[in-house]
Chain A
Amino acid sequence: MKLLKTLLVLALLAVAGAAAVVTTGAYDVAADTPHWPSTYRLIEFARTRSIAVRAADIVVPDLDDPALLRSGAGNYDAMCVSCHLSPADGEDTELSLGLYPRPPRWDALGTVEPRAAFWTLKHGIKASGMPVWGRSMDDRYLWGMVAFLRQLPGMSAERYRAAVAASPGHSHGGGETDVGGGDPHAQHGGAETPRSSFEPVDDPTAAPTPAREHEHDEENHH
């Protein structure tokens, strides 16, 4: 009974301490004030485990599919380089320098396990600057980026530029719009603005990839 009382007092003290830290503003949220190393390692571990658990059942399509690779090159160039840089331009940008934690460079991205890479692209990561691309892009275009990421380590600047130039990806008007439903009359910017009849419907991957992400409907907000 005495032990229980002691534990209860300690728990109350912990809650009161946490409340004091939060309400007094003692916790420094500045991105240029890094976490303690132990905190950083704990968050890294939690992130890695969180993604691994949620990505475990995802079915990976053929990542050597040339159509996926083609679409991924343009989309990577349009959406990723400002933070993750590229073989063609390895210089830090304001974003890559300013984000905390620092985004992994392009050569490190290629080593990420494909299911984890896909899950991260689709769902983003809280409080990291990594966006939720799955809200605006169909799975097959995300897989295109995953396929392209795997090619990045060791890629020359020339090869990168050629891959982007040959891609019908995002910058070229493909992937980010009218995807998923296969309906060329799908809405662009809200229900009141259908795409004009004169804008091409690009589908860099033409046929849907046979394997799609097998996930449960995720409404489990945290």
Chain B
Amino acid sequence: MKLHTVSLSLVLALIAAPAFSHGKEKHDVAAVVAGRDAGKAELQIAPAAADAVAVVERFSAALSAGNPDKAAAELDPAVLILESGGVERSRDEYLAGHAKADADFLKGAQVSLTRRTAQASGELAWIGSESAIHAKKGADVVAIDSTETMVLRKTAQGWKIVHIHWSSRRAGAGH
């Protein structure tokens, strides 16, 4: 009986711990290692979309390196960027708007790609990515589930990003 009680307590404690830590950002700040990791990602990438995926990776890597200008080289001048109800309608508008904040945020963030699907058809490719982001915010760690849709068009200069849609929520905020 005592063994059952102890076992039950342990199980409840294991269940309760993540429940109380969700979103409250009780992760260890020291455990956040800035950088990008796709090692455990579930990938479904059509061969025809491989080059487009490489462009998206270069864009994301440049932002994570804190270099928005380098990232912008992968954007079509007329790129349309949607994010949480906001919109930026060109590369220049993005550079003058959220690009610096995005680079600053990602530079100190640990981004783990969890799932990616990529398809291409003719001159167009679309890439859907899901990531878990951990970022330091003061003494806390912000845990974020981030999703990203990118549409690319093949141009004379190679694949260029013509559309981005970002959406984020606190990790564990439900479905």
Contacts and interface: CB of A to CB of B under 8 A. Distances in A.
Interface of A: 161, 165, 168, 171-173, 183-185, 193-202
B140 to A, nearest CB: 8
Contact of A184 (B25, B85, B142, B144): B85
Contacts of A172: 23-25, 170
A201 B144 CA distance: 11
Given A172-B24, A194-B98, A196-B104, A184 B168 contact: no
A166 B142 CA distance: 17
Contacts of B98: 185, 194-197
B101 A171 contact: no
A199 B83 contact: no
Interface of B: 19-20, 22-25, 81, 83-86, 97-98, 101-102, 104-106, 109, 133, 135, 142, 144, 146, 166, 168-170, 173
A166 to B, nearest CB: 9
By CB atoms of chain B within 10 A, which of A183, A196, A198 has the most? A198
Contacts of B170: 168, 172-173, 200, 202
* 5 nearest A-B pairs in the assembled complex, by CB-CB distance: A196-B105, A184-B84, A185-B86, A196-B101, A200-B168
A27 B166 CA distance: 60
A196 B102 contact: yes
B41 to A, nearest CB: 17
A53 B61 CA distance: 58
A161 B85 CA distance: 33
B105 A198 contact: yes
Q: Is the interface of A mostly helix, strand, loop or mixed?
A: loop
B82 to A, nearest CB: 10
A189 to B, nearest CB: 10
A168 B24 CA distance: 9
A161 B24 CA distance: 12
10 contacts: A172-B23, A173-B142, A196-B98, A197-B168, A198-B109, A198-B166, A199-B105, A199-B142, A200-B144, A201-B84
Given A172-B170, A184-B85, A197 B102 contact: yes
Contacts of B20: 161, 165
A161 B22 CA distance: 13
A191 to B, nearest CB: 12
A199 B144 contact: yes
Nearest to B22: A165
Contacts of A196: 98, 101-102, 104-106
Contacts of B142: 173, 199
A128 B142 CA distance: 33
By CB atoms of chain A within 10 A, which of B86, B101, B146, B173 has the most? B101
